[in-house]
Amino acid sequence: MTDTRNTTDAKRDARKTNASKTNARSPDARSEPATRRGIHARLADLPPLAEQPPDSGFESTRTMPLRVEFVRQFKRRRTRLTMLFMAILPILIASAFDIGGSGSGSGSGGVALVDLATSGAGNFALFTEFASVGFLLVVIVAMFCGDTVASEASWSSLRYLLAAPIPRARLLRQKLAVALGFSFGVNLLLPAWAYLVGGVFFGWAPAKSPLGATFSYAETWERMAIVGGYACGQAVVVAALAFFLGVLTDAPLAAVGGATFVVVVSNILDSITALDPYRVVLPTHFQYSWLDALSRQISWDDMIRGTSLAVIYSALLFTAAWIRFARKDITS
């Protein structure tokens, strides 16, 4: 402050003296590094501003191309760490099985999947999916979708994007598309990668169902596609929740943590069987219904219910996010 004041004093003096032509110092001469000459020349060379088209060649439908948003997000360290972790995870699990041998247990589908995990690529991929879908993938999806708007707010870059101007609805759409793309990518690449890792570690035998059926290769891939597709559908609920929270708040952590928190609470409530007729409306109730695709004959009932529930929740949450964001005062 003192510096500034001194400078301004000096300036005023300079101007006064300029007027009396006793001092030739000009601000330009005093403070300009040599390289800066160019900028003044450039500005001076600009033709006088002609009457421009009203929107200066701007088209809102071209704003925020997916490619641009993809690069913006992909270059983040968290994206790359996530990818790296996802690449390591199946190898880690496979090594654990290799060292410790297959577990043993009896009972529901999940435990049986553990027993079969080392029987081949297909079962290893299914087990990896089973082990990660409950929490790990939830956190990752919440991170991709919750953080996408909230982090722009926390970097203050959101206001510049909106003033670019990117229409608000379009900004949400493009950001959601990229975030969902990352989420689905992880959801689908994880089992695919686990399949390859499992194949290297435990051979390429086709998948066996915990119910005793053995699938052909074609069936294995078909079932895995169903599992992956259904898991993606369920991930949309988490995505919608995180995205909605991300639109509400400027703190990325609040959005990601909030969505994860809701999922955890829902899981806890879902484990209370006494709530029974009402448990079906919990967003995570049908989280593992893809296990139904592992029986000899696919039972679609719970997967239909689960997908419908996901559609309901995500439609409500996305609508709320769009309506909220369309009129929100951006103050961050």
Report the nearest approach of another protein to the CB of residue 143 (Å).
Answer: 15
Q: List CB contacts of 105: < 8 A, sequence separation 6 or more.
A: 111, 112, 114, 115
Stretch that binds another protein, among 82-90, 100-108, 179-187, 238-246 (CB under 8 A): 100-108
Is 210 a residue that touches another protein (CB under 8 A)? yes
The CA distance from 298 to 226, in Å, is 10
DSSP annotation of 296 reads S
Is 4 a residue that touches another protein (CB under 8 A)? yes
Stretch that binds another protein, among 93-101, 135-143, 195-203, 282-290 (CB under 8 A): 282-290
Provide the CA 64 distance to its chain's centre, in angstroms: 17
Please select the residue that binds another protein; options are 86, 93, 94, 116, rule is CB under 8 A.
Answer: 116
Residue in 227, 85, 78, 197 with CA at minimum distance from that of residue 146: 78
Q: Which is nearer to another protein, 243 or 318 (CB)?
A: 318
Contact set for another protein, span 283-322 (CB under 8 A): 285-299, 301-302, 304-305, 307-309, 311-312, 315-316, 318-319, 322
Site string for another protein, 163-182 (x = CB under 8 A): xxxxxxxx------------
Provide the CA 307 distance to its chain's centre, in angstroms: 20
Is 135 a residue that touches another protein (CB under 8 A)? no
Q: Which is nearer to another protein, 69 or 86 (CB)?
A: 69
Q: What is the CA radius of gyration of the chain?
A: 29
Report the nearest approach of another protein to the CB of residue 229 (Å).
Answer: 15
Q: Which residue has the tokens 């686990």?
A: 194
Region at 169 (left for phi over 0; alpha for psi -120 to 50; beta for the rest): alpha
Q: Which residues of 34-57 are buried (b: 16+ CB within 10 A; e: fewer)?
A: eeeeeeeeeeeeeeeeeeeeeeee
Alpha helices (runs of H) in the chain, residue ranges in sequence order: 2-19, 27-31, 37-45, 66-74, 77-100, 109-116, 121-133, 136-155, 157-163, 168-202, 217-248, 252-270, 276-279, 301-327
Q: Which is nearer to another protein, 76 or 265 (CB)?
A: 76
Is 214 a residue that touches another protein (CB under 8 A)? yes
Is 23 a residue that touches another protein (CB under 8 A)? no
Q: Which is nearer to another protein, 162 or 225 (CB)?
A: 162
The CA distance from 318 to 49, in Å, is 43
Contact yes or no for 209/295 (Cβ under 8 A): yes
Stretch that binds another protein, among 33-41, 179-187, 238-246, 255-263 (CB under 8 A): 33-41
DSSP annotation of 83 reads H
Please select the residue that binds another protein; options are 156, 203, 253, 265, rule is CB under 8 A.
Answer: 156
| Dihedral over Cα of 190, 193, 199, 200: its sign | negative
Please select the residue that binds another protein; options are 23, 25, 27, 253, rule is CB under 8 A.
Answer: 27
Is 33 a residue that touches another protein (CB under 8 A)? yes
Please select the residue that binds another protein; options are 58, 85, 135, 278, rule is CB under 8 A.
Answer: 58
Q: Which is nearer to another protein, 95 or 102 (CB)?
A: 102
Report the nearest approach of another protein to the CB of residue 41 (Å).
Answer: 10
Contact set for another protein, span 224-253 (CB under 8 A): 248, 250
Please select the residue that binds another protein; options are 85, 160, 203, 268, rule is CB under 8 A.
Answer: 160
